Amino acid sequence: MIKAKDPRGPWSPMVLVKEGKGLIDACPLWDEDGRAYIVHAFAGSRAGMKSVLAVFEMSPDGTKAISESRLVFDGHPFHTTVEGAKFYKHNGYYYIFAPAGGVKPGWQLAMRSKNVYGPYEEKIVLANPVNWINDWPVMGVDKDGDGCGEPVNVYEKPAVGKTYPIATPVESDEFDGQTLGLQWQWQANSNPLWYFPAGNKGYLRLFAWQLSGEAKNLWDAPALLLQKFPAPDFKATTKLTFQPYKKGERAGLVVMGQDYAAVTIDSVDNGLSFNFVSVKNALSGKPETVHASIPVKERTVYFRVEVKQTSALNKEKIQQPKANCTFSYSLDGKKFTIIGDNFAAWEGKWIGAKVGIFCQRPQWLNDSGYADFDWFRVEK
């Protein structure tokens, strides 16, 4: 637990409220009488048990558990993998909202009880708009009046007394600040040696960083600067200047997931080259395949990926959206040449596919080359 009087900080040091293996997805509830409780789930890989939820009482200041965990819901056999619980109190009922059934085929449960420790009665509900009917949350629209909501693809926004323009998070970046934009995410906990935001010089310098000894491809590369796909159809273009220190260094534009593909500029024996590489099932440790390699003299280049949504049948013979990615390069930012074949993006583990930039070297040295990224621009 950490706390602050202002959400902008400063925040207090972390406090361990309850120690235990595989205790996950904790959610607090402060009751009207001042007492406080936590509902949590169990990770089967570490706790040796899953598909159950437990509640314990904690001190009102949130610093420690003051009771043992008590199981309040058993998801076996119909609500397996129940986890990610949220704790509420409404109209005298304690509610636990939790997904169950697995990530892809699962559903949303609502459980209620007049006592914080149960017994809880459960009901399968859905995402979407919520209305309270007979003290049950009905999610979606109850078209046939049977008390079960049906999901909606489009719905009215809640009335908040003011009209706001439609807006999406920032995606493009001119790299003219001292910090990275909030759209960016490193593949792992960041290291200050990976990058230098040059501020008023107008570029972001990514230093070439090596893979760990066990890594076979970019799946295990921490120094990837990525952002989530901004739309089903979009075009991402970046301008960079590559200054390698040793042979084997490279910089590029990547679409990252369990399958990934990238267009890169590489330092090779006889100078520089453009490469198009990809990996199927990268998390299995497969090496990259080089599909195209083109000699180049210029160090300042432009890379682009154009993403278009299509659909294909999944294993269950259901049409699912897919993203076809076409990579290209340019020497002047105007005329782009396609490199490699179309690539079908695939999501990562627990996350969707991402697009971003990187600079890499094959081994540890006493210094590294770098790539100065002038900008990264997204068109939709």
| pTM for the whole structure | 0.73
How many beta carbons lie within 10 A of that of residue 224, not counting itself?
A: 24
Would you identify the CATH topology of the domain 23-125? Tachylectin-2; Chain A (2.115.10)
Q: What is the mean pLDDT of the chain?
A: 92
Q: How confident is the model at residue 104 (pLDDT cuts 50, 70, 90)?
A: confident
- Which residues are within 8 A (CB) of 63 and not within 5 positions of it... i.e. 6 or more apart? 1, 15, 17
Domain regions of the chain by residue span = 23-125, 185-379
Residue with tokens 């598909």: 51
Q: Compute the average pLDDT of residues 22-41.
A: 97
Would you identify the CATH topology of the domain 185-379? Jelly Rolls (2.60.120)
State the Cα–Cα distance between residues 359 and 254, nearest whole angstrom. 11
Q: Compute the average pLDDT of residues 24-28.
A: 97
Encode pLDDT of 81-96 as tens digits. Answer: 999 999 999 999 999 9
Q: Given this model, what pLDDT does residue 118 score? A: 93
- Residue of 1, 107, 99, 115 lying closest to 55 (CA atoms): 115
State the Cα–Cα distance between residues 114 and 90, nearest whole angstrom. 10
State the Cα–Cα distance between residues 351 and 4, nearest whole angstrom. 30
Is residue 92 within 8 A of residue 103, CB to CB? The reply is no
Q: Is 154 exposed, middle or buried (0-12, 13-18, 19+ CB in 10 A)?
A: exposed
